[in-house]
Amino acid sequence: MKIGVIGLGFVGLSLTSVLASKGKDIVGIDVDDEKCANIKKGISPFFEPELKKLLKIGLGKKLKISTDFSLIKNSDIIFVTVGTPQRSNGSIEISMIKSAVKDIGKILKNDKKNPIILIKSTVTPGTMQEIILPIIEKESRKKAGKDFGLISNPEFLQESTAIRDTKFPHVVVLGGYQTRYMKKAEKFFSEIHPNIPIVITNHQTAEMIKYANNSFLATKISFINQLSNICQKIPGANIDDVAKTIGLDPRIGKLFLNAGPGYGGSCLPKDMKALINFANRVGINPTLLNAVEHTNNKQIQNIIHLIEKTLGSLKNKHITILGTAFKPDTDDIRDSISIELIKKLLAKKVTLTVYDPKAMKNTKSIFKEKIRYADSISHSLKNSQCMIIMVHWKQFEKINDNSINIMKRKFIIDCRRVLSGKKLNSNYYAIGIGKA
Ligand code: NAD
């Protein structure tokens, strides 16, 4: 079986590496020359646990990486994993997916194989039927369902556990017409993911499932963040105990109940905006989704308010930010709340020093010489008047009285309650814990 993957980002490269490491005959295609050249050498364009190892194993087997679309000819299965970023009005930008499926259509025109094309990129309901299907049929002069299969196959992986999630997804969703291609796709997934539920539905429901999933997760986060703000006003109250306990109720579930500075990353904010935009377009006022987003946007103001309450005017104050990635175990800073906070503090003329174990290169590419970059926690804290922990990196747990001795003012805002179990000799605020 020959497999093609179009788009070698977080989703595509994780999928490619997992399948290639199992010895599958797979070709990964991307439009980015430099990215492809690096991947061919075993260099991953981003950090993701286990990825480099699997990529190397795959490259030693049958994996091919190229910018040349013609290599997908004769594929049995083609995954489309290109980006669908956000437009300024909240809707998704689909030019990349249009271009990718146009190229696939052109190859299909002279292809003797009848491949199954699986769209993993996140697209709003209707995109498959109204945009993707007509483009492929026009370019290939072939019929979906007869000459090739076309299936919506949304992806649910999380960055930082992308490889594990690719190997062991919680569900496989297959949306499309009930043709022989659907049966083949079901067989393919049941072989590579035995015992994992496969949901077969139509295109538009599959597309909607992805948005339902992410908007529910965002709702859980905004919910717990709002409760954490209430807890902060109750001396001694602790949001983690609240979250842990309600999470024991199986109707609620314990995941995505970590209070913090708000949700960020390349998916939740974008998917929320896209769903809100979509709901408005179809005449539904998404009051709950709007509130979730509004709560999220306000969370960062709460942090700034806490800093100003203690430091007064922030002009020329020296502040340290620990963690710039949107979560631990990734170097991805797309839509990271930490990056937003840096921008807001720079507007207030703060002197900023940042440290992140993995995301320094990406952070530098945005802020260049506007902020200072430390190569360790202790380096970042020298002469600092406030430390803000934005991301729960494991190594931040080691911070102790010795580490903060070099601060000019021992003032800590811990957005992740990394140090809440320690009695540090400092003015310590934790998001979600009422100061006694
Ligand atoms: P990404 O931006 O990391 O990667 C997309 C890749 O596609 C890039 O390497 C880009 O060069 C390439 N590309 C763009 N146009 C192309 C074309 N015409 N032909 C070939 N390659 C092309 O994106 P990502 O984070 O992997 O996300 C991909 C899709 O999956 C998006 O729709 C996203 O919403 C969705 N998704 C992402 C995640 C995640 O955690 N990152 C999780 C689930 C779903």
pLDDT the model gives residue 184:
98
What percent of the chain stands above pLDDT 90? 99
pLDDT the model gives residue 435:
86
Which residues contact ligand 1 via a Cβ below 6 A? 6-12, 29-32, 35, 81-84, 96, 99-100, 120-122, 155, 157, 159, 266-267
Condensed to tens digits (0 to 9), the pLDDT of residues 5-31 reads 999 999 999 999 999 999 999 999 999
Pocket test for ligand 1, best of 15, 32, 82 (most atoms within 8 A of CB): 82
- Residue 129 carries which DSSP code? I
Instruction: Using the mean position of ligand 1's atoms as its centre, give its distance from the Cα of residue 97 in Å.
Output: 9
What percent of the chain stands above pLDDT 70? 100
pLDDT the model gives residue 192:
94
Residue 37 has pLDDT above 80, yes or no: yes
User: Is there a contact between 68 and 29 (Cβ–Cβ < 8 Å)?
Assistant: yes
Supply the pTM of this predicted model. 0.96
Residue range 88-110: average pLDDT?
A: 97
Q: Cβ contacts of residue 370 below 8 Å, gap of 6+?
A: 346, 352
Condensed to tens digits (0 to 9), the pLDDT of residues 169-178 reads 999 999 999 9
Give the DSSP H/E element, type plus range, for residue 12: helix 10-21
Residue range 62-73: average pLDDT?
A: 97
Which residue type, as a one-letter code, is found at position 127?
T
Size of the chain, expressed as the number of residues it contains: 436
pLDDT the model gives residue 417:
97
- Residue 77 carries which DSSP code? E
Residue range 221-243: average pLDDT?
A: 97
Mean pLDDT taken over the chain = 97
Q: What atom of ligand 1 comes closest to residue 123's alpha carbon?
A: 32
Condensed to tens digits (0 to 9), the pLDDT of residues 331-341 reads 999 999 999 99
Active-site choice (231, 267, 386, 415): 267
Residue range 236-243: average pLDDT?
A: 97
Residue 383 has pLDDT above 90, yes or no: yes
Residue 368 — very low, low, confident or very high, per pLDDT cuts 50/70/90? very high
Q: Cβ contacts of residue 15 below 8 Å, gap of 6+?
A: 5, 79, 81, 120, 166
Residue 41: Cβ-neighbour burial (10 angstroms; 0-12, 13-18, 19+): exposed
Pocket test for ligand 1, best of 29, 30, 131 (most atoms within 8 A of CB): 30
CA distance 53 to 49: 9
Residue 32 has pLDDT above 90, yes or no: yes
pLDDT the model gives residue 270:
97
Condensed to tens digits (0 to 9), the pLDDT of residues 118-141 reads 999 999 999 999 999 999 999 999
- Residue 192 carries which DSSP code? H
Does the annotation mark 267 as catalytic? yes
Residue 436 has pLDDT above 80, yes or no: no
Condensed to tens digits (0 to 9), the pLDDT of residues 259-278 reads 999 999 999 999 999 999 99
